[in-house]
Amino acid sequence: MRSKRSFRIGVVLAVAAGALCAADDLPKGEAVLDRYIEVTGGKAAYSKLHSEITTGTMEFKAMGLKGKLTGYALEPDKRYTEIVLEGIGKIQEGSNGEVAWGMSAMQGPRVKEGDERAESLLQSKFNPDFTWRDLYKSAETASVEQIDGKDCYKVVLTPKTGSPITKWYDKQSGLLTKMALTSKSPMGEIQSDSAFSDYRKEGEITVAHKMVTHVATVELVMTVENVQYNAEIPKDKFEIPEEVKALMNKTAK
């Protein structure tokens, strides 16, 4: 009887010890993020980036809609994205570092406030993978999980403001494979997850050319056609549209 009890205790201790060893073997979150920078171009290449123009397509699968996407980004925190859907019009999002806004033919102009504004301003930071230490309080490797049959490090990033973001990095290649986050919106909290694939070089930087995002039952597919780094961007690209300014003035009264 004692031998069986001792055997069971031994098994429990062995399992516990194995779990502790596995936890100790996990790399620090900062090491995983730094490796991503190295495998996609290196610190020297990222430090040369000051602006970015991305062109491609955005497809709304359930609605059968597909449109041209153009994104502009300028250091340190200016961003403007435009999607043109045939028969519907433009969907626009922008930030000038202080004001975050959105506008579409379906919903009209909108000024983002509170947590939604904070999250948009965070997402508008230029070169966020390279400057993550300035944006997040911590990056912790939580576990190893399988994504599409590949072992990936699950890293939880806690921003200085806003909700945590979870990212999965391929253990072998070091590339980002998945991201999950909870965003604030006028409709409440919205959970989404995005899968990244088709990594190819644009200049000195290796970029994911396909991103599939699921928001509830909606699937969005973004396909990148071209990325231009350090291209000159007209300053008016980041100006607040007159419709948004009018809304801001109306709210201020």
pLDDT tens for 41-56 read 999 999 999 999 999 9
**Rounded CA separation 79/191 (Å):** 22
Burial of 198 (0-12, 13-18, 19+ CB in 10 A): exposed
Greater model confidence, 23 or 246: 246
| Residue 253: per-residue pLDDT | 62
Greater model confidence, 134 or 86: 134
Alpha helices (H) along 48-199:
114-123, 132-135
For 215-241, give the DSSP string. Answer: ETTEEEEEEEEEEEES----GGGGSPP
pLDDT of 243 higher than 90: yes
pLDDT of 105 higher than 90: no
Shortest CA distance to 143 belongs to which of 18, 19, 23, 17? 23
Shortest CA distance to 240 belongs to which of 107, 70, 100, 89? 100
For residue 138, give Cα distances in angstroms to 35, 39, 132, 135, 166: 16, 22, 9, 9, 12
Question: Which residues are paired to 73 by β-bridges?
Answer: 52, 79
* pLDDT, tens digit, 9 for 90 and up, residues 86-103: 888 999 999 999 999 999
Amino acid type, 29: G
pLDDT of 152 higher than 70: yes
Q: What average pLDDT does this structure show over 135-158?
A: 96
Q: What average pLDDT does this structure show over 102-108?
A: 89
Q: Does the N-terminal peptide bond of residue 109 adopt cis geometry, omega within 30 degrees of 0?
A: no
Segment among 20-34, 58-72, 152-166 with least mean pLDDT: 20-34
Greater model confidence, 137 or 189: 137
| Residue 18: per-residue pLDDT | 41
pTM for this model (two decimals):
0.86
Segment among 61-70, 151-160, 238-247 with least mean pLDDT: 61-70
* pLDDT, tens digit, 9 for 90 and up, residues 173-203: 999 999 999 887 766 788 999 999 999 999 9
Segment among 53-57, 65-69, 216-220 with least mean pLDDT: 216-220
pLDDT, the chain, mean: 89
Cβ atoms < 10 Å from Cβ of 40: 22
Map residue 8 onto helix, strand or coil. Answer: helix
pLDDT band at 13 (very low <50, low <70, confident <90, very high): very low
For 46-88, give the DSSP string. Answer: HHT--EEEEEEEEEETTTTEEEEEEEEEETTTEEEEEEEETTT
Domains, the chain, ranges and CATH? 27-252 (2.50.20.10)
